Structure 1
Amino acid sequence: MNTEELVVVGTDGSEHAQAAVRWATGEARRRGATLEVVHAFQPVWGTERESPGGNLLEVSHSRAAEILSDAELAAHDMVGELPVRTVAGVGHPLDTMLKAAAHATVVVVGSRGLGGFTSLLLGSVGQGVAMHAPCPVVVVRGRAKADRGPVVVGAAQSPEAPAAIALAFAEAATRGCALLAVRTYRTPVPPWSPDLLPLVQPSEQQEAAERAELRDLLVPWREKYPEVPVETLVARDDAAQLLIDLSHTAQLVVVGNRGRGSLAGTLLGSVGLRLLHHAGCPVMIMRS
């Protein structure tokens, strides 16, 4: 088994984190990788004092060990011979996860953790990891156990598109499923004045150009992964909403960390953010 690849998953023992551990276990199995389960807790003022359960710092360490042990057992229940190691960190969970991400192939987090406000659809740690990790990040949400349907990739007109497409093809190949490459476009609105009604610009030519660009993007990956069935979808639509709709029948959605129209200074485009909050299946963010 190739242990050079490493799938890192964060857990706090919550239901969402447990789903992330299960998803990460399957990903590690598919990749032939080691699974690293990470838990972090923050020491608070007064942890040296006694509590009914003993020294508070000792209780925190004991609870961390319990959470990690449960996660390791769950992983081995799924894949008996999977290499699993556990890491307990004392500090902010986001800092701990980003440190672990520095040597990871992919990082996996749940859509929400313990202590999060129920009105939030994505925890601050998960969003922070998605925005700052140096490797691909998967936020496990929606149909976490989905093993049917295609891998959907958002193939926007952006520098990140080739890397996202490459990652999506690799994921589809390891899963033995089809790939659906999606591109959306908007028809430019012509100038308007009271003396000149706006012209309705035909979209056929623009759509044909978008299809040609998408076809060219896919060529090298079709050749590398001839066993992966490929479909394409080009539509004049809102990219985020279309990908969210497709996520309800997909097993994974892959997007770049920035898309067309994203501000240069942002760390995650609006399409990625909306998917992380509303997708119906796990979402993989390809870092560039």
Structure 2
Amino acid sequence: MSAAVVVGVDGSESSDRAAEWAAAEADRRRAPLHVVIANDDPVRAEHAEDAVRRAEAKCRTTHPSLEVTSEVVAGHPVEVLLRQSSAAQLMVLGARGLGGFADALLGGVSLGVATRASCPVVVVRKDVPVTVGPVVVGVDSSSCGRVALEFAFAAAARLGADLVVLQAWHEESLLAAPLSPTDRDEVERNIRLSLNRETAHLREEHPEVAIREVVQHGHPVAALTNAARDARLLVVGHRGGGGFDGLFLGSVAAGVLHHAPCPVAIVRNAAADS
């Protein structure tokens, strides 16, 4: 039996959208769906049981052939969801809760889980755009970028979507002298050649996926957020490691989670953490 797609819910409208997205993705993957609520307050036990039952029932209704299970797990939401991620093939979370019980569970949790989970994590906003647009993936020359690229190709194939592979670049330091037009053209030429080499074997594995490669000068968060305006999914890699630096300082993953208008997949390279 394949590993489950796990969705963390909390009774909020945002988590309802996450459950809907997770059920559809589990169906596409032909995987079971496991609905989880983490509860660290016994006073909220009845609310938690009711919320998880409602989410499970809705997923069963919309996807009758899908195997759906659910549970309420005692403990802090981040710790519970990170443990769940160790046996999951994918985790899905809402972007924010409603306040009170919901905020205690997912409102401040999705970023921490997304950048530390053992499996890929998709964070779904309340207003999921209805689109036939592409999957967009942000890449660089790192191993994390290659892992994100593989995930994005597979996602585009399942969705029957085009794939936009975007690499944004900019001078490493604000103190560095601006590149001349000739030097900038040379940098972009080299990036395009490298990008084409990176995608070559995946093009062969997924010939059904139409791909467009984009090299853009600018900040990665701005470039990816703009490219994802009509996207079905935005995929980025994350090197993991946790901590304050990993979550907030210069993190493309954190930036796109805050600003992208579509569901965002954070794909961590576990090998880079060891």
Shorter-normalised TM range: 0.7 to 0.9
Measure how far apart 1:199 and its partner are. Answer: 6.9
Alignment counterpart, residue 274 of structure 1, candidates 242, 251, 255: 255
Where does residue 30 of structure 1 map in the other structure? 28
- C-alpha distance in 1, partners of 2:244/2:216? 28
**Structure 1 residue 200 and structure 2 residue 184: aligned?**
no
Where does residue 215 of structure 1 map in the other structure? 196
Alignment counterpart, residue 165 of structure 2, candidates 171, 174, 181: 181
- C-alpha distance in 1, partners of 2:178/2:139? 30
Where does residue 168 of structure 1 map in the other structure? 152
Q: CA-to-partner distance for each residue in 1:251-284, whole Å, 9 max, x for gaps?
A: 000000149xx99994355111011111100000
* Letter of the structure 1 residue corresponding to residue 125 of structure 2: R
- Give yes or no for contact 2:10–2:101 (8 Å, CA) kept in 1: no
Q: CA-to-partner distance for each residue in 1:76-134, whole Å, 9 max, x for gaps?
A: 1211110000011111111111111110001011000132699xxx8321111112111
Measure how far apart 1:225 and its partner are. Answer: 0.2
Q: CA-to-partner distance for each residue in 1:238-258, whole Å, 9 max, x for gaps?
A: 111011111111000000014
Alignment counterpart, residue 74 of structure 2, candidates 76, 85, 90: 90
Gaps of 5+ in 2: 270-274
Measure how far apart 1:161 and its partner are. Answer: 1.2
| Aligned pairs for 1:1-288 within 5 A | 3-43=1-41, 56=43, 60-115=44-99, 123-141=107-125, 143-187=127-171, 200=180, 202=182, 203-258=184-239, 266-268=245-247, 270-288=251-269
Gaps of 5+ in 1: 48-55
TM-score (norm 2): 0.88
- C-alpha distance in 2, partners of 1:214/1:72? 42
Q: CA 1:188–1:201 in structure 2 vs 1: closer, same or farther (change >3 Å)? A: farther
Q: 1:109 is paired with a residue of what secondary structure?
A: strand
Q: CA 1:61–1:191 in structure 2 vs 1: closer, same or farther (change >3 Å)? A: closer
Q: CA 1:143–1:113 in structure 2 vs 1: closer, same or farther (change >3 Å)? A: closer
Q: CA 1:69–1:156 in structure 2 vs 1: closer, same or farther (change >3 Å)? A: same
* Letter of the structure 1 residue corresponding to residue 61 of structure 2: D
* Letter of the structure 2 residue corresponding to residue 267 of structure 1: G
Q: CA 1:62–1:136 in structure 2 vs 1: closer, same or farther (change >3 Å)? A: same
- Give yes or no for contact 1:258–1:272 (8 Å, CA) kept in 2: no
* Letter of the structure 2 residue corresponding to residue 239 of structure 1: P
Measure how far apart 1:145 and its partner are. Answer: 4.7
Larger Rg: 1
- C-alpha distance in 1, partners of 2:175/2:80? 51
Larger displacement relative to structure 2 (164-173 or 126-135)? 126-135
* Letter of the structure 2 residue corresponding to residue 23 of structure 1: W
- Give yes or no for contact 2:12–2:98 (8 Å, CA) kept in 1: yes
Q: 2:91 is paired with a residue of what secondary structure?
A: strand
Q: CA-to-partner distance for each residue in 1:31-63, whole Å, 9 max, x for gaps?
A: 0010000012112xxx6xxxxxxxx4xxx3332
- Give yes or no for contact 2:14–2:97 (8 Å, CA) kept in 1: yes
- C-alpha distance in 1, partners of 2:18/2:252? 22
- Give yes or no for contact 1:257–1:287 (8 Å, CA) kept in 2: yes
TM-score (norm 1): 0.84
- Percent of aligned positions that are identical: 38
- C-alpha distance in 2, partners of 1:38/1:142? 18
- Give yes or no for contact 1:143–1:282 (8 Å, CA) kept in 2: no
- Give yes or no for contact 1:160–1:258 (8 Å, CA) kept in 2: yes
Q: Aligned pairs, how many?
A: 264
Q: CA RMSD in A?
A: 2.8
- Give yes or no for contact 1:187–1:201 (8 Å, CA) kept in 2: no
- Give yes or no for contact 2:128–2:263 (8 Å, CA) kept in 1: yes
- C-alpha distance in 2, partners of 1:189/1:127? 27
Q: 2:254 is paired with a residue of what secondary structure?
A: helix
- C-alpha distance in 1, partners of 2:84/2:242? 28
Q: CA 1:188–1:85 in structure 2 vs 1: closer, same or farther (change >3 Å)? A: closer
